[in-house]
Amino acid sequence: MNPENRWVKWSEHIPWDDLAVGYYSTMNGSKGRPGKDARMVIVALIIKHKLTLSDEETVLQIQENPYLQYFVGFSSYKDEQPFAPSLFVDIRKRMGKEVFAQFEQVILDKLVQSKPADLKEVTHKGKMLVDATVAEQAIRYPTDMSLLNEAREISESLIDELYVLSGYTKKPRTYRRKARKLYLKLAKNKKPSVKVRRRGLREQLQFLRRNLKHISELLDHVGSKPFPLVYKRQRQYWIIQHLYAQQDKMYTSGQKRCDDQVVSISQPHVRPIVRGKASKKTEFGAKNKRQHERGTGFCRSPWLGRLQ
C-alpha cells in the first residue's frame, strides 16, 4: 500500500478507541446477536460522508477499493461485500435519531481534528443539499392560530407607532390583553375540538380585523408624505393584510388551505411543499427553478412582487 495515500494516513491518525466507546455505549452485551466491529461501522460512516455516497454505494466502494478496505482494517483484499447496506438502517434504529446524529457529528469532528497536516483543507460551516427540490427555510411550524396571533401583535405595534404620529388624545382600543389570554388558552390545549378551534380562529380574526381598521384610520388621519411607516413596517402591514384575507376566506368557506398561502410573515415567499418523507412529510421553502418550470407544488405569490 502507498503510505502517502490519504486513507492510509487517516487510518494511522484517527483515535479508533475513543470513537468505539460511543458506538458500544448504545449496545446491550447480554441481549441480541453480536454487533459489527466498531471500526468497520465508523469507517463506513466516514466514507459515506466524505464521498457523499448512498448506503449501497458506500458498501460497493469498500468492496472495490483496496485502500478503503485497508482503512476498514482488513488484513488483505476481499472481493465481497464487507456488510449489507441495511447496516446503516439498523444502526440508526438502534441508536435512535438523536443519538445517531450526535455519534455522526463526533466522528466528523474527530476526523477533522485527526487529519494529517498535509491533508488539511478549508472547512466550511453549514450543510450542502444535493438534489434538493426545495431550498428549505428555518421557520416556526405554521398554524393558523400562531400566524393570526403574530399578525395581531404586529398590528398592535403599528397602532402604537401611528398613534404617536397622529396627535390623537385617546389611543384606539385593541383589547390586546384579552386577545393574548384567549390565544394562550387555546395554544395550551393539546387537543382542541373543531368547535373550540373555530371559535378561537373567529376571535383572533375579529381582533385583527379591528386593528387593521384602526391602522387604516390612523394612516388617513396622519396623511403626510412621505409615507409615515418605514419600508420594513410598510412591508409587514401589506403582509398581514394579505394573511388576514386568506385566513378569513378559509374560515368562511371551511377550507384548510388556499393558493399561495402565507406560512411565515417574516418570509412570505416560503411555501409548503409536500415531499412525503418519513421524517417530515412537508418541507417549507422556495421552489427551485426546475420545480417552478414543472409547475408543481406551490408557486411564488404574484402579489409579493411589489414587496421587492
Is residue 208 included in any domain, yes or no? yes
Same domain for 117 and 32, yes or no, is yes
pLDDT attached to residue 85: 81
Q: What are the DSSP calls for 201-248, one per residue?
A: HHHHHHHHHHHHHHHHHHHHHH--SS-SS-HHHHHHHHHHHHHHHHHH
Q: Which residues of the chain have pLDDT under 50?
A: 131, 289-308
- Whether residue 199 is found in the same domain as residue 228: yes
Q: What is the pLDDT of residue 236?
A: 92
Chain CA centroid to CA 97, Å = 16
**For the chain, how many structural domains are there in total?**
2
Q: Are residues 81 and 176 in the same domain?
A: no
Last residue of a domain, one of 128, 152, 183: 128
d(CA 215, CA 235): 14
Residues 245, 158, single domain; the answer is: yes
Distances (CA, A) of 192 to 16, 52, 203, 204, 250: 51, 44, 15, 16, 19
Is 269 part of a structural domain of the chain? no
What's residue 181's pLDDT?
A: 94
Domain assignment present for residue 186? The answer is: yes
Do 178 and 255 lie in a common domain?
yes
Query: Does the residue 191 lie in any domain?
Result: yes
Residue 135 belongs to some domain of the structure: no
Domain membership of residue 180 (yes or no) is yes
- The predicted model scores a pTM of 0.52
Structural domain boundaries, residue 13: 6-128
Q: Are residues 174 and 239 in the same domain?
A: yes
Residues 250 and 262: beta-carbon distance below 8 Å: no
For 3-44, the pLDDT digits (tens) are: 888 888 877 777 766 666 656 665 555 555 555 677 787 778
